[in-house]
Amino acid sequence: MKEKILIIDDEKDTLASLSFLLTSEGYDVITACDGQEGMDIFMNENPDLVLVDIRMPKKDGLTVLKELEKSGVDAIVLTGYSDEGMAIASLRRGAYDYHREPLEDIDVLIASVKGALYKRNLELKNKELLRQLEEMVIRDPLTGLYNYRYLHIRLTDEITRSSRFDHGFCVLMIDIDYFKSVNDNYGHLYGDYVLKKLGKIISENIRSCDTIYRYGGEEFLILMPETLKNGAISVISRLMKVIRDYIFDYEGQQLKLTVSIGGANYPDHATDRKELIRHADDALYKAKKSGRNRFCFD
């Protein structure tokens, strides 16, 4: 995809010549003849770089630079005025570079454009890498679900939010029945397949506002905001049926499984994060003790 450059200048000849020059360099060029029009176009077109004149009607170049500051998009300033103070002011406002018109060396401007776009691409790549690293920190590597660490962050946030707005919420602990026998009889690769597939099944059968976490081993936890016991039970009943009916098929080996579920409700069972999880875990233990393939609220 071509990189997009916005040129803002009230001189039509300058717009035409710069547009021709940058288009011939392979860029997608859009133009505006004053600062206000330029910012309107900027908001709609999301260019990768802005070339802007300083003295323009309606909105001058320094004002444009100020409005661009938070966008993460660089600007190169062009001006026909030989004013060092203006150059300094432009650079202080965040301009990537400053060129006087008429341009004596086109190659210098082209190098400046390439440098600004290289910087932006590098920043975007770094931002994406940072996002990926942050995802790795909060995701379970096997299932791709949120992990134990992120669960405690979200649970703390949900307690704070629910306390402020006087809402209840539920946590559900889910455990695969007889999962050890799956690993023993079919191997750990089959067991890993079951964990990944079950995580996907649960994700697809809970509400969009609910979040699922791999708690550890064969245990999962669902956080259900603004939900009381009766609301959670309808989700649990549907989820357990879907899991019971699903055939886990891995390399020709087929198996049906069941899960046991324990639930706890904030603030009825606990108002503390650890106590709430303990109550859900106790309820899960009761469900398994009662014969498995069932749910229980502590």
Highest mean pLDDT among 123-127, 134-138, 243-247: 243-247
Domain 4-133: CATH class, spelled out: alpha beta
Retrieve residue 83's tokens.
Answer: 């004013």
Residue 146 pLDDT more than 80?
A: yes
pLDDT at residue 155 in the model: 96
* Candidates 3.30.70.270, 3.40.830.10, 1.10.10.10, 3.40.50.2000; CATH matching 148-297: 3.30.70.270
Q: Which residue has the tokens 């650890």?
A: 274
Retrieve residue 78's tokens.
Answer: 């062009």
The answer to whether residue 251 is catalytic is no
Catalytic position from the list 218, 219, 226, 275: 218
Look at 35-44, 55-64, 255-264 and tell me which has the smallest mean pLDDT: 55-64
Residue percentage of the chain with pLDDT more than 70: 99
Residue 87 pLDDT more than 90?
A: no
Domain coordinates of the chain in residue numbers? 4-133, 148-297
**Rounded to two decimals, what is the model's pTM?**
0.67
The closest of 66, 51, 41, 63 to 11, measured between CA atoms, is 51
196, 143 Cβ separation under 8 angstroms: yes
Average pLDDT, stretch 18-38? 95
Residue 82 pLDDT more than 70?
A: no
pLDDT at residue 100 in the model: 84
Look at 78-87, 122-131, 244-253 and tell me which has the smallest mean pLDDT: 78-87
pLDDT at residue 40 in the model: 95
Confidence band, pLDDT 50/70/90 cuts, at residue 235:
very high
**Cβ neighbourhood burial of 289 (10 Å; 0-12, 13-18, 19+):** exposed
Average pLDDT, stretch 277-283? 96
Confidence band, pLDDT 50/70/90 cuts, at residue 68:
very high
Supply the mean pLDDT for the chain: 93
**Cβ neighbourhood burial of 196 (10 Å; 0-12, 13-18, 19+):** middle
Average pLDDT, stretch 10-34? 93
The closest of 138, 250, 260, 143 to 198, measured between CA atoms, is 143
Interacting residues of 134 by C-beta distance below 8 A, sequence separation 6+: none
pLDDT at residue 280 in the model: 96
Residues in the chain: 298
Confidence band, pLDDT 50/70/90 cuts, at residue 80:
confident
